[in-house]
Amino acid sequence: MDITDNVRLTATNPIIEGDLLISNEVIAEGNYIHKEYKAFAATRCGDKGKCITVLAIADEGHLDFVTKTSIELLKKGIFEEPSNASPYDNFNWKKFLSNKLLITYDEIRGGAKRTQINLCEDGTFKANVRKQGILKQTNPQYKGNMSGTWTAEGIGPQALLSLNFSRKNLTSLSVKLSFQDEQLYADGERFYASESTSCQ
């Protein structure tokens, strides 16, 4: 599975346990790969023609817990007849974004950038932006460690995320969020969301 244009996960030696296809060894290839992390993958298919795959990444000390939790989630899942209704009709962005880590990576010939934003439920955020090469000139004032407050306005498939920075020399930033084919985008740039470990 391609996670990004530059990162691919490959399950090795998968086994079948009941109605689950499980691989306890997943190899990551590409940019920004932390070798101390391990990955796990499992898939379960229902009788309605749909399958669910869980990909989990954790440090070696937590992988066993993550694996057990992922398998439990898959086993307890219920498959229902697919519906044409959009899952985003009444989507609550504030609830979805609270205590989330938003991540994006971009690498081109001659430059790279990585953005990580922890959005905490109390309305505060911490961000880290790294830029290299020609991508240093993309919004050059927004770089390094930043913090402040955030709000999200919108119910449905689109919302406006506003970041107000603690640093006085940074102007507020508003970003249009949307889901396209079940993928999260911020101003047209692909982002990934996971649970934040930095929010108290």
Nearest residue to 120 (alpha-carbon basis) of 56, 198, 8, 23: 198
Contacts of 57-61 spanning 24+ positions with Cβ under 8 A: 57/28, 60/36
Do 124 and 149 form a contact (C-beta atoms < 8 A)?
yes
Confidence band, pLDDT 50/70/90 cuts, at residue 85: confident
- Note the pLDDT of residue 136: 66
DSSP 139: S
Place of tokens 């498959």: 79
Q: What is the pLDDT of residue 147?
A: 93
The pLDDT assigned to 46 comes to: 82
Decide if 196 contacts 119 (C-beta within 8 A). Answer: yes
Confidence of residue 116 (pLDDT cuts 50, 70, 90): very high
